[in-house]
Homo-oligomer: A and B are copies of this chain.
Amino acid sequence: MPIDLRLEPAEVPLLVDLYELTMAASYFKLGFNQPATFSLSVRRMPPRRGFLVVAGIERLLEAVEQLRFDADALDYLASLNLFEADFLTFLGNLRFTGDIFAMTEGAIAFANEPILEVTAPLIEAQMLETLVLNQVGVASMLASKAARATIAALGRHVFDFGMRRSQGADAGLVAARSSYLAGFIGTSNVLAGRRYGIPLYGTMAHSYVMAHDREREAFTHFADLFPRLSTLLVDTYDTPRGVENAAQVALELKRRGFKLQAIRLDSGDLAELALTARRILDRHGLQDVSIFVSGNLDEYRIEELIRARAPIDAFGVGTATAVSDDAPALDIAYKLSEYAGVARLKTSANKPSMPGRKQVFRAFNEQGGFYADLVALADEGSVTVAREFKPVPARTEPLLTKQMSAGRRVGARPTLQEARAALLQALAALERRYKHLTNPAVYPVNLSAALNALLVSERARASRRQD
């Protein structure tokens, strides 16, 4: 039976803003359906962010490839009394037949460079706007946030525990996937484990301890059933007493040949409690029992705890990475940049767009580090473009690759594991100053001379469009 929590297949194409459909109806009526290019980019970096991680591309392309308005969807649109019958018939036959160039899943990107460009008949390309922004926006925002926690943790394990605070069911899945992509070790989200093969982790809730008459009994019961993976939550009541109880259970497990994995602290002064806990555990010879902490953690808190040399082995992060709490939306836009072979440009105050079909070239040095990007026109060669970088790069790489051709997905489709490995390698190659958590340097993104020239000439032409 359909429930509100789930999308029905007929509903996917209706994930649009109404104006996509009214504009489409107008284009249909006018016969405006020449090839158009729309370009997706982040206009401004979120506060304190030095880089972005691109995500959501795989999911988007999958949905685009299968986009169909079925009879149910058309019936609903007809009921609005806005659309003529021939337009609805056209919509019923509509398939996405265009090309999509995009950065690969897990790519590192910066503000004002195209992340994705769609070239398709105007109506098809326009119709994707809402879905592109919604999907690539949230997945990239959450991957970008999670990468910061990975950086802060300096190699210690970080887990996603955020589903309960995610903005809906879908956001919980995206958060689990994006954070794993960005270096987290696993998630508590069972469905994300099933869908994406992400390792699942879990501890216990306070309610488990509370449902027992004695804390130690709760610990024993849990360890008895899961002797190989128990993490005991020690802060339901008094924390040091909880650690002592956990230590007793760990010793009992040890006698039986098992090892308690960890204790978990979820409240209070985590740095101090971790020290206390470490002392108690060590006094019992339990040096191999890890300390896992959670409770309103984010990259800033993780950095602080590590600076304070708190003896913490792993971090469970929830709200902060689940919603990107300090920057919960990306200033991301999907803008028309060419129609019918002619460059297009918007000149509104503070929100200008970039004309033409474009490519992003990244400059690498001899050591494999990258140090600048250049946004160029799509037909500029990498040789011409290399001359515009200073210093001259050892090599340049075009970041937008063809991922959809005539409506079909093409090219390599990295698995989540592959995308994760590539991202972690790229993050390691990214200079430290761009990874600073509060005051990152601004990575150089320049426009090629040819793109600049087009921008200048189009600005002049834009004025004449109002005559």
Residues of A within 8 A of B (CB): 1, 3-9, 11-12, 14-23, 25-27, 29-30, 32, 36, 38, 58-59, 62-63, 66, 76-77, 80, 82, 122, 126, 129-130, 133-135, 137-138, 141-142, 161, 163-174, 188-191, 193-195, 200-208, 210-216, 221-222, 225-226, 229, 235-239, 241-242, 245, 266-269, 319, 322-325, 328-330, 335-336, 339, 344-351, 353, 462-463, 465-467
Contact = CB atoms under 8 A, between A and B. Distances in A.
Contact of A164 (B129, B164, B225, B236): B129
Contact of A30 (B130, B171, B215, B221): B221
A53 to B, nearest CB: 16
B350 A202 contact: no
B329 A323 contact: yes
A4 B173 CA distance: 10
B168 A134 contact: yes
A465 B6 contact: no
Closest 9 CB pairs of A and B: A18-B202, A19-B202, A168-B170, A207-B336, A133-B164, A328-B328, A170-B170, A167-B167, A268-B349
A54 to B, nearest CB: 16
A350 B269 CA distance: 10
B241 A466 contact: yes
Contacts of A348: 206, 235-237, 239, 266-268
Nearest to A323: B328
Given A17-B163, A164-B133, A221 B171 contact: no
Given A17-B189, A169-B15, A237-B465, A137 B163 contact: no
A29 B170 contact: no
B188 A335 contact: no
A210 B241 contact: no
Contacts of A5: 7, 12, 59, 62-63, 135, 170
29 contacts: A3-B63, A6-B8, A7-B7, A15-B172, A16-B190, A17-B190, A18-B193, A19-B205, A22-B225, A23-B207, A80-B193, A82-B226, A82-B229, A122-B211, A129-B205, A133-B164, A134-B165, A134-B166, A170-B170, A207-B335, A211-B344, A212-B465, A235-B348, A236-B346, A237-B346, A242-B466, A268-B348, A268-B350, A322-B329
Given A5-B59, A129-B164, A164-B130, A238 B347 contact: yes
A20 B319 CA distance: 18
Contacts of A465: 212-215, 237
A214 B342 CA distance: 13
A303 to B, nearest CB: 21
A330 to B, nearest CB: 8
A123 to B, nearest CB: 10
A205 B4 contact: no
A65 to B, nearest CB: 9
Contacts of A166: 134, 138, 167
A126 B30 CA distance: 58
Given A348-B237, A465-B214, A167 B323 contact: yes
Contacts of A238: 347, 463, 466
B17 A202 contact: yes
Nearest to A324: B328
A333 to B, nearest CB: 9
Given A6-B8, A7-B169, A236-B347, 7 more contacts: A3-B12, A7-B191, A21-B202, A206-B353, A207-B344, A210-B346, A237-B348
A22 to B, nearest CB: 6
Contacts of A29: 225
Contacts of A188: 17-19
A246 to B, nearest CB: 11
